[in-house]
Amino acid sequence: MTKTTDLVSSTQEITKEALHKLGFDDGMYELIKEPLRFLEVRIPIRMDDNTVKTFTGYRAQHNHAVGPTKGGVRFHPDVNKDEVKALSMWMTMKCGITDLPFGGGKGGIICDPRQMSNQELERLSRGYVRAISQFVGPESDIPAPDVYTNPQIMSWMMDEYSKINRSNAFAFITGKPLALGGSLGRNRATALGAVITIEEAIKRKNLDIKGSRITIQGFGNAGSFIAKILHDMGAKIVAISESYGALHNPDGLDVNRLIELKEQHGRVTHLFDDVITNEALFEVDCDILVPAALSNQITEDNASKIKASIIAEAANGPTTQEATRILTNRGVLIIPDVLASAGGVTVSYFEWVQNNQGYYWSEEEINHKLRNKMVDAFNKIYDLAEDRNMDMRLAAYVLGIKRTAEATRFRGWA
């Protein structure tokens, strides 16, 4: 069984339990356990050497009962059907948790953008939009950036969709540059959303952000932004990791210097001699652990070695269900991925709203709106977990699936 299949089955397991907690029967689960629509497309692209290469792309639309589906498009050689399906279900949860009028969507193309020219990436981006154009749009399914996609790729996709529909369809896609209707605050929204939930968890644990020792697994876009924001708030970043190893300093790392090195070299750990293993990272003595890299990183094998009292899942699916049980029983407060990483889709929603109304907010107003959404979501999930004696992940799924299930029932679908 592959890891992505594990992610689908574990997501389905928690979703079924959440629906039962809400009083829905197995008929509702049978409808919600899979995307309502899943597209597989073939995209022929002329490469720079004049050969034609055909790429496989996917788009999952989990459930549109409450509104258009919403979710990113990733370009990666390991993209597969199960991953896209699982991610679309998580997007439904994120939208439900933050009370957005969206269902979950997700897309991906099997490719390695690191080995492709800018011109090839443009052709592939436009070809993907042409292949799915009949099934997406501002009122049906709204894409966004994800792994190895960025504002430039969103621009090409928006332009292609606009050509097909003979209009400036800014609201078709989010994560665009500011010049094409992008939103202020979008580039660090996922990181800021995670930090806001960490602030709320710290309050519940009677800790102080200043001086808190924090370990961050993953120093990519989300991880580096989280490190920077927390460092500026007075926290002590004691360890960070990349795929090739980790850096640890109990007195705190120089985050600003590490970010400078990352911008210059693409990664940082290879520049140092005193590197620890990624396995040892989870044993670092700290107050807060932020997994911001890959799925299935915290398992029953290493859960007992974790010393943090708070885990904020900035990555998708970093903690297995068995590890969740072990850590929850130890009193560790886990901020589940569908909550901790919901800042990105929340500000994407703000971008969509601004595109539709043609009026754009200041970054201060956007950050204020984001904070309100994230704080409200955290408190609802935390209180539900306490009142119903369930872990934070199950509480998040109960809140996340509730509106979709109710809308599905009222529509008469199940």
Q: Which residues are annotated as a binding site for substrate?
A: 70, 94, 348
How far apart CA 19 and CA 24 sit, in angstroms, is 5
Q: Which of 175, 79, 55, 180 is nearest to 127 (CA)?
A: 55
Q: Could you list the residues known to form a binding site for NAD(+), using ranges.
A: 190, 221
Whether 106 is catalytic: yes
Task: Count Cα neighbours of 349 within 13 Å in the Cβ-side half-sphere.
Answer: 25
Query: For the purposes of burial, counting CB atoms within 10 Å of the CB of 151, is it exposed (0-12), middle (13-18) or buried (19 or more)?
Result: middle
For the chain, the straight-line distance linking the first and the last C-alpha, in angstroms and rounded, comes to 30
> Which of 16, 33, 106, 373 does the annotation list as catalytic?
106
Query: What one-character-per-residue DSSP string does 137-153 give?
Result: BTTTEE--B-TT--HHH
C-alpha 10/C-alpha 330 separation (Å) is: 22
Amino acid residing at 57: G
The backbone torsions φ and ψ at residue 27, rounded to the nearest 5 degrees and listed phi first, read: -65, -40
Distances (CA, A) of 60 to 63, 132, 150, 208, 220: 9, 11, 20, 41, 25
What is d(CA 349, CA 317) in angstroms, rounded to the nearest whole number? 23
- How many whole angstroms separate alpha carbon 335 and alpha carbon 199? 11
Q: Please state the residue numbers annotated as binding site.
A: 70, 94, 190, 221, 348
φ/ψ of 327, rounded to 5, equals -70, -40
Query: How far apart, in whole angstroms, are the C-alpha atoms of residue 157 and residue 178?
Result: 15
CB atoms within 10 A of CB 245: 18
Residues with Cβ within 8 Å of residue 147, at least 6 apart in sequence:
72, 74, 75, 76
Tokens 């886990």, located at residue: 334
Cα Rg for the chain, rounded, in angstroms?
21
Sole residue written with tokens 């269902």:
103
Residues catalogued as catalytic: 106
